[in-house]
Structure 1
Amino acid sequence: MRLSRIIMALTVGLAVVAVPTAAGAAQPQPSPSVTDTPQPPPYSPVLPSLTVNRPTITLGETVILRGVGFRPNRTVDIAVSVGPLAAPAAGTARRSGGSTVAMAPVAFQAAAPLRFTVRTNGAGEFSRSYKPSVTGLLTFVATQSDRRAETELRVLDRPQPPLPVTGDSIGTPMKLGGGLVGAGAVLLLLTLAWRRRQRLGMGSSH
């Protein structure tokens, strides 16, 4: 009898202890917090470009060609073609008398295309100096497999010395020479008249 009571008491005690544990297990558990990893911005490839440090130079000067956005550590082919510059308005030269004379533009002579190669660095960039040997509108085209870029450069002729003044500059010496010739003619006539008078005077004395 006592044994059965002890067993019942143990059973009831275990039941009482198990009820709060089961109730706690039945409660909803908070979801673990997840830290979002920041995603890198979408990749935007650098488009290839080719530039010169000066858009217009005079023949004999040097420019710097710079390319970016090409594949790193590879060769880039550069072709240079020459075209005529936009025809400027005809200039004028002033004479000493104040009048002007028109100056005809010099005819353009096309040059054969030129090619050379450069090599990019680890960032896909290159830089090279270039000294044109002709005047005109130079077009640089850089090509590397599927990448291409171009730029332009205006090369002007060296300043020319002023044109010699013609026309009126000859007028003054000619006028002066004509005056001297006229004065000489007058003196010659006076000398001939004086000699004639001398001869006539000598003939009347006899």
Structure 2
Amino acid sequence: MRLSRIIMALAVGMAVVAVPTAAGAAQPQPAPTITDTPQPPPYPPAVASLTVSRSTIFLGESVVLSGSGFAPNETVDIVVSVNPLAAPAPGLARRGDGSTVALRPVAFQANAPLSFTVQTNAAGEFSTTYTPDVTGRLIFTATGRESGRTATTELRVLPKRQPLPVTGSSLDTPMKVGGGLVGAGAVLLLTTLVWRRRRFGSGAAH
């Protein structure tokens, strides 16, 4: 009898001890604290830009090519590609007699390079003058040798028109005016000679 009571008491005691342990295990555990500082996302690389001072010019004119966003004191390679423009209808000019003549483009030679290099300053910028010697749509592509950054821009070069040529029909009016003046001068000269002869001739008769 005593043995059974002792066993029962031990069982009750073990049950009492196990209840707080199970209750503690059932409680939610706190989240671990993060001590590392989160790193910001990487920034995108700088974007280079390339611009021209005028988007459309006539053959023989110059533009200023400017770039920015490249590495400081960097060598930049510039390549120029040329795409021909659609051939426009020839312009017409009116002559002195009322007829018309087509204007032709004037040839121009400046030996402009299709590839060259420039040097950026401490701010990664550059500026250079370019004079095209061909007509068409010019595409400039600039690439930095160290940074690998690249940028493009476009320029339209239109043909320069030839001035109206001087033809025989254009000289009709000036020649007519000049001929009339010469004729009037001749008449005045003959009139003067006749008047002098009559005057001096009548004096000699008296």
Structure 1 counterpart of 2:68, which letter? R
Query: Which 5+ residue runs of structure 2 have no aligned equivalent?
Result: 188-206
Question: Does the CA contact (< 8 Å) of 2:142 and 2:152 recur in 1?
Answer: yes
**Deviation of the 1:25 alpha carbon:** 0.9
Q: Distance in 2 between matches of 1:35 and 1:127?
A: 50
Q: CA deviation at 1:23?
A: 0.7
The residue that corresponds to 1:22 in the other structure is: 18
| 1:31-180 map, 5 Å | 31-34=28-31, 45-46=44-45, 49-52=48-51, 54=53, 56-58=55-57, 59-67=61-69, 73=72, 75-81=74-80, 83=82, 86=85, 88-89=87-88, 90-107=90-107, 109=109, 110-112=111-113, 113-118=115-120, 126-136=124-134, 137=138, 139-145=140-146, 147=148, 149-154=150-155, 156=157, 163=163, 166-167=166-167, 168-176=169-177
Cα deviation 1:152-175 (Å, max 9, x = unaligned)? 442647978x93673443112334
Q: 1:78 to 1:120 in 2, by over 3 A?
A: farther
Residues 78 and 53 of structure 1: CA distance in aligned 2, closer, same or farther (over 3 Å): same
1:74/1:180 CA distance change after superposition, 3 Å: closer
Paired residue secondary structure (2:20): helix
C-alpha separation in 2, matches of 1:43 and 1:144? 23
- Work out the CA distance in 1 between the residues paired with 2:132 and 2:79: 11
Residues 36 and 145 (structure 1), Cα distance of their counterparts in 2 relative to 1, 3 Å cut: farther
**Secondary structure at the counterpart of residue 147 of structure 1:** coil
Identity %: 27
SS in structure 2 opposite 1:166?
A: coil
CA distance in 2, matches of 1:151, 1:88: 25
3-state secondary structure, aligned to 1:131: strand
Whole-Å Cα distance in 1 between the matches of residues 144 and 39 of structure 2?
31
Find the residue that maps to 1:22 and give its secondary structure: helix
Contact 2:52 2:155 in 1 (8 A): no
Distance in 2 (alpha carbons) for counterparts of 1:73 and 1:47: 12
1:53 & 1:31 partners in 2: Cα distance?
Answer: 67
Q: Distance in 2 between matches of 1:92 and 1:67?
A: 46
Q: Which residue of 1 aligns with 2:200?
A: none
Q: Which residue of 1 aligns with 2:199?
A: none
1:179–1:35 CA distance, 2 compared to 1 (3 A): farther
Partner amino acid for 1:99? S
2: distance between equivalents of 1:164 and 1:127? 44
Note the alpha carbon deviations across 1:62-82, whole angstroms, 9 max, x for none.
Answer: 3422346xxx55624223447
Q: Which has the larger radius of gyration?
A: 1
- 2:65 and 2:33 map into 1 onto residues whose CA distance is 51
CA distance in 1, matches of 2:172, 2:180: 12
TM-score normalized with structure 2 length: 0.52
Alignment-derived partner of residue 193 in structure 1? none
Residue segments in structure 1 that go unaligned for 5+ positions in a row:
1-7, 187-206
SS at structure 2 position matched to 1:62:
strand
Q: State the AA in 2 paired with 1:22.
A: A
